[in-house]
């Protein structure tokens, strides 16, 4: 059986490699291999077990799902793996965005107010971001895969 390399399979393969690398970096930084990592707008802090160890494991699994589904991506089984990997990235990115939102609500300790001001709340959304939040827009290519798959079934 001949396997044809398509642009969408290359895209998903590269996205899977990057997702796997970020997941492993999350785990390694949490384990103490590095004190923390900041490159551009991406930051891996690494001190919270559930976010960095479990979140890194989930990101690594998402990358593995994407990598295992990037060949013959037009079949239902392979596209299901890719969609599952994208859903895992969305899950971690969603929790990171929720944590960012919740961290911006209370005021600073020095402030007499309980709630943060609007400008202080919006300033909390400035970079650096977690790797899952940076990967979030790139997973939108998976929606294209679903659209192509749906057009083939019609």
Euclidean distance between the first and the last CA atom of the chain, given in angstroms as a whole number: 25
| pTM score of the predicted model | 0.88
Distance CA(18)–CA(63), nearest Å, equals 7
Residue whose entry in the numeric block shows the structure tokens 């998402």: 62
Phi, psi dihedrals of residue 37, rounded to the nearest 5°: -145, 130
Q: How confident is the model over 118-149, as pLDDT tens digits?
A: 888 888 888 999 999 999 999 988 887 777 76
N residues, the chain: 154
Q: How confident is the model over 41-58, as pLDDT tens digits?
A: 999 987 888 888 999 999
Among 33, 29, 54, 31, residue whose Cα is nearest residue 42:
29
């Amino acid at each position: 059986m001949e396997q044809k390399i398509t642009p969408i399979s290359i895209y998903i393969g590269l996205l899977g490699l990057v997702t796997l690398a970020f997941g492993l970096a999350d785990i390694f930084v949490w384990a103490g291999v590095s004190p923390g990592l900041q490159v551009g707008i991406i930051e891996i802090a690494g001190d919270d077990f559930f976010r960095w160890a479990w979140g890194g494991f989930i990101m690594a699994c998402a990358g593995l799902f994407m990598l295992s589904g990037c060949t013959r991506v037009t079949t239902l089984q392979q596209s299901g793996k890719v969609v599952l990997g994208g859903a895992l990235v969305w899950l971690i990115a969603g929790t990171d965005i929720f944590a960012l939102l919740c961290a911006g609500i209370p005021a600073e300790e020095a402030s007499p107010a309980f709630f943060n001001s609007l400008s202080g709340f919006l300033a909390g959304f400035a970079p650096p971001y977690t790797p899952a939040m940076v990967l979030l827009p790139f997973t939108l290519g998976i929606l294209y895969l679903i659209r192509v798959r749906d057009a083939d079934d019609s």
